[in-house]
Structure 1
Amino acid sequence: MYRFAYRLCGEPEAAKDLVQETFLNAYRGYDRFRGDAQVSTWLYTIASRACLRMRRRRKGAPERELSLEEFVPASDGEFRLQIPIDGLSPEEALHNKQLREALDAAINQLPKKYKMVLVLRDMEGLSAKEVGAIMGLNERAVKSRLHRARLFVRRQLSARGLGEASDHE
């Protein structure tokens, strides 16, 4: 839950507060939990709503920058964990750094509705159905937003010469 909260908030202290608020709200509202979804889905829903409330309270505060350094897009559009390999050449290390920076920038440019779907689905590993339950969307809408988010990220990377069309691969 902390990892999810940190990705939403971007600050360690805000993430801790969000996790605390999430579990406190879950405890207070447990009698209203119907069991229609998994407990984890219910908790993600509580966390995402609590995050929105925190943002509204902090209007004017800068939006968080997602740090997605460990994820890179694969050819099938999914994000894969990039495991650092010791002994990279300076050129490979530079390329990886540029790719991470470009990926961060691309994801940060996504509208919130697409960013949230991308984080929940590709990074948190939730199913489209679970993401839909959290965001109040049907599965088709989740898949549509996810597709648009991935296309946007791919285009941004390609525009910088770092995507699939890159000659570094």
Structure 2
Amino acid sequence: MGLMATRSFLYDIQVTLLDMPWPVWRRLLVPSTITFKKFHEAIQIAMGWQNYHLFEFRYGPIAISIPDEDFLVDEFHFDARWKKLSSLNLSTSDVMSYLYDFGDNWVHLIHVKGIRPLEHRELSVRCTGGEGACPPEDVGGPYGYEQFLQTIYDSEDPEANHLLDWAGGSFDPWAFDRNHVNKEMAQRFKK
């Protein structure tokens, strides 16, 4: 076992939502001791998802998710409730994927930007940056999101108001509020 597998570290991770018309990403500081289920919850908060759907992490041949009746736990499939981020012994520049919502198929690229020793006061997850709003839940994946944007910005389209109501009354595709994300992270990941 390497040094990283035996000590606690803080990972500097960038999560990027793929297939977007412009950049949608978040930068997170995540303790290596976190389970993949909690890492999933942190990504949900950071990106602005509502945690309505299933998820899966992939790192090479390794798959990590929450088991269901079709879930096979073997040497390549792990339960996210127990598998810790530290178990992968990640290095700077390592990349994995995170799939959220098997219907809409939101693929996120997770890139390890840096690793440093974990200080006691850093046991919580936090967001250090980001750009762009996450698409609304159940919008229909990247293609559905593009259609949604075209419709809400077409003042002549009779569906525009209906879609905006469905999305909560308004939608700003450029919106991102790091302070709001960190308040939610602090609530969810209290020490």
- State the TM bucket, normalised to the shorter chain: under 0.3
TM-score when normalising by structure 1: 0.23
Higher relative contact order (CA 8 A, sep 6+): 2
